[in-house]
Structure 1
Amino acid sequence: MSQHHDDEFRINHPDFDRLHRQMDRRRFLTRTSLGLGALAMGSLLGADKLSGARATMGAGAPGKTLEEDILGALPHIAPKAKRVVYLFMSGGPSQFETFDYKPALVKLAGQNLPDSVRKGQRLTGMSANQSDLPVVPSVYHFNQHGKNGTWVSELLPYTAKVVDELCIVKSIYSEAINHDPAITFFQTGNQLPGRPSIGSWVSYGLGSDNKNLPAFIVLVSKNGSKDQPLYARLWGNGFLPSEHQGVQFRSGKDPVLFLNNPEGYDGQDRKQMLDYLTRLNHLQNETYGDPEVDARIAQYEMAYRMQTSVPEVMDIRNEPDEVFDLYGPDSRDSGTYAANCLLARKLLEKDVKFVQLYHQGWDNHGGLPKGIAEQCKKTDQATAALIVDLKRRGLLDDTLVIWGGEFGRTVYSQGKLTATDYGRDHHPRCFTMWMAGAGVKPGITFGETDDFSYNIVKDPVHVHDFQATLMHLMGVDHERLTYKYQGRRFRLTDVHGQLVKGILA
Structure 2
Amino acid sequence: MQNCNQFLYTDSRRSLLRSAACGFAQIGLTALAAQTVRSADVQPSALPHLKPHAKRIIFLFMWGGPSHVDLFDHKPLLKQFDGREVTAEAWKHGTPPGGRILGSPFRFHRCGESGVEISELFPSLAQHADRLCVIRSMHTDGSAHGEALLNLHTGSSTFLRPSVGAWISYGLGAETENLPGFVTISPPRGHGGVQNYGSAFLPARHQATAIGAAEIPVAKARVSNLGNERIARPLQRRQLDLIQTLNRSHLQASGADSGIEGLISSYELAFRMQTSLPGLLGLEDETAATLAMYGIGDGPADNFGRQCLLARKLSEQGVRYIQASTDYTWDHHTQNNEGLRRECARVDRPIAALLQDLEQRGLLDETLVIWGSEFGRTPTVENADGRNHHPAAFSIWMAGGGIR
Q: TM-score, normalised by structure 1?
A: 0.69
Give 1:380's aligned residue: 348
Is structure 2 residue 195 aligned with structure 1 residue 247?
no
Structure 1 CA distance, aligned partners of 2:65 and 2:210?
22
311, 315, 319: which one pairs with 1:348?
Answer: 315
Deviation at 1:230, TM superposition (A): 6.5
Task: Give the structure 1 partner of residue 263 of structure 2.
Answer: 296
Q: CA deviation at 1:281?
A: 1.5
Structure 2 regions of 5+ residues with no counterpart? 1-9, 36-45, 213-217
* Paired residue type of 2:73: D
Q: Distance in 2 between matches of 1:103 and 1:414?
A: 20
State the SS of the aligned residue for 1:435.
Answer: strand
Distance 1:51 1:309, change over 3 A: closer
Change (3 A) 1:282 1:179: same
Instruction: Give the alignment of 1:271-350 within 5 angstroms.
Output: 271-287=237-253, 288-330=255-297, 336-350=303-317
Contact 1:221 1:335 (8 Å CA) reproduced:
no
1:143 and 2:109 aligned? yes
Aligned to 2:100, what secondary structure does the other structure show?
coil
Q: Please list, as runs of the form range in 1=range in 2, the aligned pairs for 1:226-241 lying within 5 A after superposition.
A: 231-241=193-203
8 Å contact from structure 1 (residues 362, 375) kept in 2: yes
| Residue 86 of structure 1: how far off its partner (Å) | 0.3
User: Where does 1:171-250 land on structure 2 (aligned, <5 Å)?
Assistant: 171-192=137-158, 194-220=160-186, 231-250=193-212
Q: Within 2, Cα distance between the matches of 1:400 and 1:349?
A: 13
**Which segments of 5 or more consecutive residues in structure 1 lack a partner in the other structure?**
1-22, 39-49, 60-73, 417-421, 442-505
For residues 76 and 56 of structure 1, the distance between their equivalents in structure 2, rounded to whole angstroms, comes to 23
| Structure 2 partner of 1:405 | 373
Specify the SS of the correspondent of 1:104.
helix
| Total equivalences in the alignment | 376
Aligned to 1:94: 67
Compute the displacement of 1:154 (Å): 0.6
Shift of 1:283: 1.5
Contact 2:305 2:347 in 1 (8 A): yes
Picking from 362, 372, 383, the partner of 1:394 is 362
Instruction: Give the Å deviation of 1:85.
Output: 0.2
1:177 Cα deviation (Å)? 1.1
1:439 maps onto 2:391 in alignment: no
Describe the shift of the 1:120–1:209 C-alpha distance in structure 2 as closer, same or farther (beyond 3 A).
closer
CA contact (8 A) 2:124 2:348 kept: yes
- Residue in 1 aligned with 2:13? 26
SS of corresponding position for 1:96: helix
Q: Deviation string for 1:435-488 (max 9, x for gaps)?
A: 0011322xxxxxxxxxxxxxxxxxxxxxxxxxxxxxxxxxxxxxxxxxxxxxxx
In structure 1, distance between residues paired with 2:55 and 2:192: 27
Are positions 1:358 and 2:345 aligned together?
Answer: no
Deviation for aligned residue 1:201? 0.9
Aligned to 1:80, which of 46, 53, 58?
53
TM-score (norm 2): 0.85
Instruction: Call closer, same or farther: CA 1:34–1:310 in 2, change over 3 Å.
Output: closer
Matches within 5 A, 1:352-501: 352-359=319-326, 360-416=328-384, 422-441=385-404
Instruction: State how far apart, in whole Å, the 1-side matches of 2:297 and 2:363 are.
Output: 23
**1:316 aligned counterpart, secondary structure:** coil
1-side partners of 2:264 and 2:47: how far apart? Answer: 25
1:279, distance to aligned residue in structure 2 (A): 1.0
